[in-house]
Amino acid sequence: MPDIAAALATAKQALRSCTDSHDLEAQLLLSAVLDCDRTHLIAHAEDRLASAQLEQLQNLLARRCRGEPLAYILGWREFYGLRLSVNDAVLIPRPETELLVDLALEHLPQQLAAAPRQPPPATVLDLGTGSGAIAISIARHRPDVQVMATDLSTTALQLARMNAASHALENISFHAGSWYDALPETCAKIDMIISNPPYVAAQDVHLLQGDCRHEPSMALTPGDDDLACYRSIITGATDYLLSGGLLLLEHGHDQRQRLLALLQETCWESVQCHDDISGIARVIMAKYNPDHSR
């Protein structure tokens, strides 16, 4: 049987034609097989694999070379420094979505530690939570905030609940249903609504490429009208946001101007646009003002 160094070299070679990150991916797959971290591969380079381990590695390499996303093979993806379980019921959280979390954490009202009587906790609603990536990151960084996470997919919600439990979060609740229909009737007004909804038009060729081929289509596309989910979310937000509350939306690179036009139609002010780290138009943020007139 090969030692770890030889198995790693073979894995890198096998992955060379199917991914640009063959070095890293080879390490991650071998670590998964050996149930160890990546430093172990270097420190124990001369340890030999058992035949069952070699067979398992070959199996994982074959799945990756057939195009299966690395995150689904490993069963996890890191987002905002947290390891989250993922499976083919959820979108694989993208690094560019971390911008939404940065902005949410920057703009959530701060709890005043010295206040004589604490106000009720600030509330955040994450619409279409998938693996729970956005909601869980916010809940983890702001234990004083109450986070509600919704999804139409009950299998996605099941995984999101598991992820919240694995990070021992108690300030997050999960609700199944389409957008605001998921919320309890008694739901109080909310400080912040955040969403990374499906926004790729059904005819977009990107749906036929890379990881998207394996991700649930309900997580990626709303159908022919790429803005359909934004229309529902923006219109409904006015029933649920506190006056002065914020709406934060991730969007596609070519949707900024059309979203700005949508926000013009209703009671929004202080609209801000943000690019992601690659300089691509990515997030739009607006403040709800019910008295704002055009």
Q: At what angle do helices 22-34 and 4-15 cross, to 10 degrees?
A: 130
* Contact characters 214-243, ligand SAM, x per CB under 6 A: ----xx------------------------
Burial track 40-52 (b if 16+ CB lie within 10 A, e otherwise): ebeeeeeeebeee
Q: Which stretch, 59-67, 127-135, 137-145, 285-293, contacts ligand SAM (CB under 6 A)? A: 127-135
Among positions 59, 178, 217, 272, the unique one binding ligand SAM when judged by CB under 6 A: 178
Which tokens in the block code for residue 192?
């912040």
Token pair for 48: 């030999």
Helix (H), strand (E) counts: the chain: 11, 9
> Does 76 contact ligand SAM by CB under 6 A?
no
- Least CB distance from residue 222 to ligand SAM, whole Å? 7
DSSP secondary structure, 8-61, as one string: HHHHHHHHTTT-TTHHHHHHHHHHHHHTS-HHHHHHTTTPBPPHHHHHHHHHHH
Query: CB of 88: closest distance to ligand SAM in angstroms?
Result: 12
Q: Are 91 and 134 in contact (CB under 8 A)?
A: no
**Position among 26, 28, 125, 134 found at the interface with ligand SAM (CB under 6 A):** 134
The answer to the question of residue 103 lying near ligand SAM (CB under 6 A) is no
Instruction: Provide the token pair at 230.
Output: 């934004």
**Shortest Å, Cβ 98 to ligand SAM:** 10
How many residues belong to the site for ligand SAM (CB under 6 A)?
23
- Which of these segments, 11-19, 70-78, 89-97, 108-116, binds ligand SAM (CB under 6 A)? 89-97
Contact stretch for ligand SAM (CB under 6 A) within 30-38, 112-120, 163-171, 194-202? 194-202
Structure tokens that stand for 86 in this block: 């993922």
Q: Which of 69, 93, 245, 252 binds ligand SAM (CB under 6 A)?
A: 93
Interface with ligand SAM, residue 153, by CB under 6 A: yes
One-letter amino acid of 232? S
The end-to-end CA distance of the chain, in Å, is 73
In one letter, which amino acid is 229? Answer: C
For 31, 46, 52, 244, the CA distances from 79, given in Å and listed in that order, are 19, 33, 31, 29
Specify the stretch interacting with ligand SAM by CB under 6 A; choose among 15-23, 35-43, 54-62, 145-153.
145-153
Q: Provide, rounded to whole angstroms, the least separation between the CB of residue 175 and ligand SAM.
A: 10
Decide: is 200 part of the binding site for ligand SAM (CB under 6 A). no
25 binds ligand SAM (CB under 6 A): no
Q: Judged by CB under 6 A, does residue 146 bind ligand SAM?
A: no
Interacting positions 262-291 with ligand SAM (CB under 6 A):
none
DSSP letters along 161-184, please? Answer: HHHHHHTT--SEEEEESSGGGGS-
Q: Under the criterion CB under 6 A, does residue 98 sit at the interface with ligand SAM?
A: no
**CB of 87 closer than 8 Å to CB of 214:** no
Of these, 152, 169, 242, 271, which contacts ligand SAM (CB under 6 A)?
A: 152
Binding positions for ligand SAM, rule: CB under 6 A: 90-91, 93, 97, 127-131, 133-134, 150-153, 156, 178-179, 196-198, 218-219
